[in-house]
Structure 1
Amino acid sequence: MSDRNRNQLPNNLPQLQNLIKRDPESYVEEFLQQFRHYESNLQIFQLKPTQNSKNLIELIMFFCQISQCYPKELEEFPQQLIDLLQRHSTVLDPEMRMTFCKGLILLRNKGLIQPTSLLGLFFELLRCQDKLLRKMLYIHIVNDIKKLNKKHKDNKVNTTLQNFMYTMLRDSNAAAGKMSLDIMVELYGKNVWRDTKTVNVIVTACFSKITKIVVAALKFFLGSDAEDKNDSDSESDDEAPTPRTLLMAQRINKKTRKRKKKTDKALRIIKKDKKKNKPIVFNFSALHLIHDPQNFAEKLFRQLESSNERFEVKLMMMNLVSRLVGINQLFLFNFYPFLQRFVQPHQREVTKVLLFAAQSTHELVPPDIIETMVRTIVNNFVTERNSNDVMAVGLNAVREICSRCPLAMGADLLQDLVQYKTYRNKAVVHAARSLIQLFRSINPEMLHKRDRGKPTEHSVEIRAKEYGQSVAQDFIPGAEVLNEETPEGDGDASDQSDSDSDGSWHDVVHSSDEEGEAPESNPAESLTAEEKKAKATSISQTRLLSQQDFKDIKIHQLSKQMEGSKGKKRKHIEISEESGDVLSLNRIEGIQSRPRHDREARLATVMAGREGREKFGSKKGRMNPNASTTNKEKSKKKPFMMVKQKYNIKSKTKRSFRDKQIALRDCLIKRSKRR
């Protein structure tokens, strides 16, 4: 075969692409030939942009692959693709439009296109009715913005894109607005755009006329950072090796000094990057970044009152309004009468409505407004005409509201609710006792003396606050347990560890409980209240407390709830510390009662206990299963009248009059002896 027939470069673009990447200068003529071919096909395509051109598709991808080899000749090529998409984006064939976008993404990855112009075009292309295209553009936009802000924040590009997204959220196209909002939420979750401007742009999405956008924005504010994606840790596994893979490679490969040095260096780099990119984690951080939460809550509540959306969407709006009011301690007095309309046992999702009522309560709300809500819950739930579970849920809701606003409960109403501690149902009894336990810790004076329990050092120090009263202390409560002189070897406070910040149950354990010895006398316990205050003030003003000191103070404060006022220790007290801004639904629905099993449930339990167990009956068995049975075995299967005479079974007869006299005499004699 001749060399002329063997040369198929004009028709074999992949082969020409490979050769140009290796030696661009040697194939300039072939490149110019293909470029002229591209220009002629482009002119034909512009006459009929709705038709699909396979030749143009191949040529566009070919030039995108070799664009870095001839930057001067292909200087205007990226702008040509952008102009084609801007001019014919809605009428282009889906395959042609996808090819243009893939080519532009390839050029952007090579750094031949500025991000602002390309990303602006891609946001406009989100209006296209092409689901695959929108998905591809979504992935590219998120990854491109993430790469732009990887080393340092590019504020100029971020501001331009955020302003463009703000206009996209108000677009009439639902798909484009929803996709733009999803991109902002994704970037916030990846810790790329975690700033106030992003959050406040998403705030505007809550007032969109498109339901999908409103629901997505509400879900963003109702979601917790701890439950979100952990900043795409799964994606980083593909980009960089993990410490586990490095250690496994060092364990398997040949151990050399050079390889060990490289492994240690890689581990230090990974540890440094992980520490540097670790986001600030605290619940519902987006709610704390809103510029004007009062105005936002009022507008959202007005939208809720006039909304015709589904009840699920209204519940989401109620939830967000309640969280805004509770976290920021806002004044929205019309919200509580609005919730009272839904506080009925037959109302769908009524436990969530009760949760919202408790969530929106705080100390700054006037007590008379909350007291109306409490009385509504008591009248509709805590009555004997309702079921036991309904009564328990109502008492739980009252308890959670009073824990946030103690002045909402009156003394007479509290005495009525306390009477349910002797109710016939365990769930109601537990709920009533939890209410008693709450007021023991916040205002024991409202309870009868018999309900206050044994006085403790903590209960003696409790002073009920009036509405609007704030207590400003110039000392750290409980600091009297520390020594006035700084202990040696404390070191820096940052070196200490605090393991009691998980918000779980705390069990105060004394060493004397385990060893059976008498507790050591604490010097702080023998002091009077004035002396404790003076010592705590002196320590707070003269010492720098370490983390260990705060830990000791915390343990001492918790121990006050177990130690009696006269030094007697109480055995079992559960001390719970609620952490976080939002109340859990389990606090309302948590009913400590086991429901009665029906017949199907009991039968299922019985059958589950019989699994793997041998059948009832004699375990001896017969050596020959085909042998005949014995006479004793046959008699068991015979009717009763056939074996009655053989076994001399007496029939039932009536007692004679003489026998009855004897039995009565014996009964009277026995009764007289007992007396």
Structure 2
Amino acid sequence: MVRPNNQLPENLPQLQNLIKRDPESYSDEFHTQYAHFVSLLEIFALNPTEENKSLEEIVMFIAQVAQCYPHVCEQFPKKLTDLLRNSATVLDPAIRNCFVKALILLRNKNLVPALDILELFFQLLRCQDKNLRTFLQTHIVTDIKNMNAKHKDMKLNSSLQNFMYGMLKDANPKAAKMSADIMIELYKKNIWNDSKTVNVIASVGCFSSITKVLVTSLKFFLGHDDEDEAGSDSDSENEVDLKGALMANRVNKKTRKGQKQLQQIKKQAVKAQKKKKNAPAFNFSGIHLVHNPQGMAEGLFKQLQSTNERFEVKLMHLDVISRLIGIHDLFLFGYYPYITRFLQPHQRQVTRILQFAAQASHELVPGDIIEPILKTIANNFITERNSSDVMAIGLNATREICMRCPLAMGEDLLQDLAMYKTYKEKSVMMAARSLITLYREQLPALLHKKDRGRQTEAQAERKVRAYGERDVHDTVMGAEALLKDSKTIDLGSDDDDTDSNDGEWVNVTHSDDDGAGAAESGDEEDSEDEDDDDEEEDGDEDAASVSEAEEAEDDEKANEKKKEKADLKMLNQKEAAQELALTRIFTDADFKRINAANLKKTVTSARKRPLEQERSEFVKLNSIEMIYKKRKHDKESRLETVQAGRQDRERFGWKDGRVNENCSKTNREKSKTKNFGMMRHKARSKVKKSFRDKQLAMRKHLLQQKKMK
């Protein structure tokens, strides 16, 4: 039956609505429209550069209702993809965008395989259409994210990663750059956060001949610091916004809208403060997942030596290489002489170059390799011909390098730098003292005796390691703190030392060896008594006959005996602690006691803060640029100092020191309290006269003088 006045073939939105409601009733109309599409597509293929509005409308219509007639539309996606593959770069932009949106609709309805459509979209990144490339990038990231939402499709991900491996090598710079951006964004979203993605970027992106791809790949390995800085900037902006909103609310007219906006700003500030207090979530940076860090560092260094890129790109190379060397403990000895030539105070970004030198230092680098850097810094920075800020930065950089490679410092150079501890500028003085504090902990023997300070228990227990030596622990450090409560181990002490050993560690002996221990202690007591008897007899015979050499020898023997006892006591404690760690499961309370004991060892009366035991992977730029100066007070601190200065004062203001407060005052003192109208004539007389007024006054004076004669 033919419908009278049928306008559906021309009204596609209405037909689309009716088909979605009842596909079977409008099957003939759809077949008519599909046949019309095929004929229009054949005509358009003859001249694809021209715009065709009717083709755009019918393509979007079929894409909207394709799920209602899957058998009829089976070849529909293939027709669009073939046309895009063969002539994507010459297609009219409007038609090309229409085809892409239609394919995305079909992909969302699972009518097109994901791999085929994504590979096509990666190829479309070569088109000279910025809006299309941005649209495709957003869709690709969103589509891959949705596919890996419930569980990761490893087969699909591997296929796409292999395809993108080739896209990074594409000759088209825009396509290669967009591919690198997509991989990095998927890595940051924890979708492709595996080592394969990282190593594709490391092996292809970091050595690309296209500068934009190279810079993007290098920034990928340096991206975490930028994010932290951005986060700190946003926090400061939130604080400024809150202060400005409070001030505006105080001054402006009170309205409901203003109060509502103020409440919203307060809520945002509270959320930002909570985020700031929360512990940061750490994701492994890409530089930890590189399979061949040594090869990557050598390749980047070779590329750096032969590149003609701008200075900022060279700094990126230096930064990535230094991080690779510091994190993976690599050997790249040519890097240090190369970076030495940039260590000049007038060099642009010199503090960052000092940061790279510190990051590239670690314990396995021989001291002879890094020592020239320290000497260059000392000669170019730490000299009195430079400003105090330059000297302080040089000392800070020296400290950061020596923190990671303490054996690089020579004794003569260290003692020379330590002499700046009494320098007139506080910034230099504090930087030199921080270097001294570092070597008090690491290698106190290199310091002058007066600079070593009081030794802490932690420093006494620390063993000075030679080059390449590793400190391997066979027990839980500080487990000796739990020996007092251990029931499986007996603690014994000599009877004579009960008073002196109160609160201190004592010799540890097992229950089976009590007899032997008692016998040994008895022998020691007998020997000590015999020595005392001999000394008394010698004293009775002739006290003056004992020479100074014999006294010194006796003192030396006594000191050696005390040292042997202390070493034996320490050895017994370590053995007991090791046995305790092997036979007992420590609780949280036990670890709290251990941490408290370890912290106590690092604190003495001379040092009020604990020593830093571990070094961070990356060198913070603030640790090099940190200069101790007297900062300007803000308003609150200034008011505090003013209030503190007003204490114990009877009255504010100037005191004239008059004995009798009620006595008369001079006219000058009275003029300060008079009304300005009474003193206006005197204020006028003090106004500076013009040259013309001076001439007239002089003429008048001369005429008066002439009349008087």
TM-score (norm 2): 0.71
Q: CA deviation at 1:304?
A: 0.5
Q: Is the 8 A contact 2:336 2:369 kept in 1?
A: yes
Q: CA deviation at 1:544?
A: 2.2
Q: Residues 288 and 639 from structure 1, CA distance in 2 versus in 1: closer, same or farther, beyond 3 angstroms?
A: closer
Choose the corresponding residue for 1:586, options 613, 619, 622. Answer: 622
Q: CA deviation at 1:459?
A: 2.2
Q: CA deviation at 1:577?
A: 5.7
Number of the residue aligned with 1:572: 608
1:235-286 superposed Cα distances (whole Å, 9 cap, x missing partner)? xxxxxxxxxxxxxxxxxxxxxxxxxxxxxxxxxxxxxxxxxxxx99536531
Choose the corresponding residue for 1:529, options 563, 567, 570. Answer: 570
Q: Residues 349 and 225 from structure 1, CA distance in 2 versus in 1: closer, same or farther, beyond 3 angstroms?
A: closer
Number of the residue aligned with 1:12: 11
Q: Is the 8 A contact 2:358 2:401 kept in 1?
A: yes
Q: Is 1:429–2:442 an aligned residue pair?
A: no
Q: Residues 51 and 486 from structure 1, CA distance in 2 versus in 1: closer, same or farther, beyond 3 angstroms?
A: farther
Q: Residues 638 and 140 from structure 1, CA distance in 2 versus in 1: closer, same or farther, beyond 3 angstroms?
A: closer
Number of the residue aligned with 2:371: 371
1:498-537 superposed Cα distances (whole Å, 9 cap, x missing partner)? xxxxxxxxxxxxxxxxxxxxxxx86659984223312321
Q: Residues 556 and 525 from structure 1, CA distance in 2 versus in 1: closer, same or farther, beyond 3 angstroms?
A: farther
Q: Is 1:200–2:199 an aligned residue pair?
A: yes
Number of the residue aligned with 2:581: 540
The structure whose residues are more often helix, as a share, is: 2
Q: Is the 8 A contact 1:225 1:285 kept in 2?
A: no
1:84-483 matches, cutoff 5 A: 84-203=83-202, 204-224=204-224, 227=227, 281-282=281-282, 284-483=284-483
Number of the residue aligned with 2:598: 557
Q: Residues 523 and 16 from structure 1, CA distance in 2 versus in 1: closer, same or farther, beyond 3 angstroms?
A: farther
1:582 maps to amino acid:
F
2:167 maps to amino acid:
M
SS at match of 1:224: helix
Counterpart-to-counterpart distance in 2, 1:282 and 1:404: 23
1:8 maps to amino acid:
Q
Q: Is the 8 A contact 2:483 2:577 kept in 1?
A: no
Q: Residues 377 and 208 from structure 1, CA distance in 2 versus in 1: closer, same or farther, beyond 3 angstroms?
A: same
Q: Is the 8 A contact 2:363 2:467 kept in 1?
A: yes
Number of the residue aligned with 1:49: 48
Number of the residue aligned with 1:242: none
SS at match of 1:206: helix
Number of the residue aligned with 1:76: 75
Counterpart-to-counterpart distance in 2, 1:228 and 1:95: 41
Counterpart-to-counterpart distance in 2, 1:342 and 1:129: 41
Counterpart-to-counterpart distance in 1, 2:671 and 2:133: 73
Q: Is the 8 A contact 2:41 2:55 kept in 1?
A: yes
Number of the residue aligned with 2:264: none
Structure 1 unaligned regions, length at least 5? 231-278, 488-520, 564-568, 610-615, 623-627, 641-675
Counterpart-to-counterpart distance in 2, 1:381 and 1:27: 85
Counterpart-to-counterpart distance in 2, 1:410 and 1:41: 84
Q: Is the 8 A contact 1:225 1:283 kept in 2?
A: no
Q: CA deviation at 1:572?
A: 2.2
1:69-103 superposed Cα distances (whole Å, 9 cap, x missing partner)? 00111111111111110111011000000000000
1:647-658 matches, cutoff 5 A: none
Counterpart-to-counterpart distance in 2, 1:618 and 1:539: 89
Number of the residue aligned with 1:62: 61
TM-score (norm 1): 0.74
SS at match of 2:312: helix
Deviates more, 1:296-305 or 1:470-479: 470-479
1:580-611 superposed Cα distances (whole Å, 9 cap, x missing partner)? 421100111111124899xxx9xxx99xx9xx
Q: CA deviation at 1:474?
A: 1.4
Q: Residues 629 and 223 from structure 1, CA distance in 2 versus in 1: closer, same or farther, beyond 3 angstroms?
A: closer
SS at match of 2:418: helix
Q: Is the 8 A contact 2:40 2:55 kept in 1?
A: yes
Counterpart-to-counterpart distance in 2, 1:620 and 1:79: 98
1:19-45 superposed Cα distances (whole Å, 9 cap, x missing partner)? 000000010111111112112211211
Percent identity between the two aligned chains: 53
Q: Is the 8 A contact 2:393 2:625 kept in 1?
A: yes
2:624 maps to amino acid:
I
Counterpart-to-counterpart distance in 2, 1:486 and 1:109: 67
Q: Residues 229 and 4 from structure 1, CA distance in 2 versus in 1: closer, same or farther, beyond 3 angstroms?
A: farther
Q: Residues 558 and 344 from structure 1, CA distance in 2 versus in 1: closer, same or farther, beyond 3 angstroms?
A: same
Counterpart-to-counterpart distance in 2, 1:482 and 1:215: 54
Q: CA deviation at 1:228?
A: 7.8
Q: Is the 8 A contact 1:184 1:198 kept in 2?
A: yes
Counterpart-to-counterpart distance in 2, 1:71 and 1:295: 53
1:41-80 superposed Cα distances (whole Å, 9 cap, x missing partner)? 1121111111111000000000000000001111111111
Q: Residues 180 and 337 from structure 1, CA distance in 2 versus in 1: closer, same or farther, beyond 3 angstroms?
A: same
2:26 maps to amino acid:
Y
Number of the residue aligned with 2:677: 629
Q: Is the 8 A contact 2:343 2:354 kept in 1?
A: yes
Counterpart-to-counterpart distance in 2, 1:164 and 1:224: 27
Q: Is the 8 A contact 1:403 1:438 kept in 2?
A: yes
Counterpart-to-counterpart distance in 1, 2:304 and 2:49: 46
Number of the residue aligned with 2:24: 25
2:620 maps to amino acid:
S
Q: Is the 8 A contact 1:481 1:524 kept in 2?
A: no
Q: CA deviation at 1:145?
A: 0.8
Q: Is the 8 A contact 1:224 1:283 kept in 2?
A: no
Q: Is the 8 A contact 1:395 1:431 kept in 2?
A: yes
How much is the aligned-residue C-alpha RMSD, in angstroms?
3.1
Q: Residues 547 and 139 from structure 1, CA distance in 2 versus in 1: closer, same or farther, beyond 3 angstroms?
A: farther
1:477 maps to amino acid:
M
SS at match of 2:361: coil
1:531-577 superposed Cα distances (whole Å, 9 cap, x missing partner)? 331232122211223444334322321211214xxxxx457225446
Counterpart-to-counterpart distance in 2, 1:216 and 1:43: 42
Counterpart-to-counterpart distance in 2, 1:218 and 1:32: 54
Q: Is the 8 A contact 1:486 1:543 kept in 2?
A: no
1:398 maps to amino acid:
T
Structure number with bigger Rg: 2
Counterpart-to-counterpart distance in 2, 1:484 and 1:72: 83
Counterpart-to-counterpart distance in 2, 1:338 and 1:131: 41
Q: Is the 8 A contact 2:195 2:289 kept in 1?
A: yes
Q: Is the 8 A contact 1:122 1:137 kept in 2?
A: yes
2:112 maps to amino acid:
I
Counterpart-to-counterpart distance in 2, 1:525 and 1:357: 47
Q: Is the 8 A contact 1:221 1:284 kept in 2?
A: no
SS at match of 1:96: helix
Number of the residue aligned with 1:267: none
Counterpart-to-counterpart distance in 1, 2:205 and 2:330: 22
1:445-483 superposed Cα distances (whole Å, 9 cap, x missing partner)? 221222112222122223321111223231122111125
SS at match of 1:68: helix
Q: CA deviation at 1:629?
A: 3.4
Counterpart-to-counterpart distance in 1, 2:282 and 2:226: 7
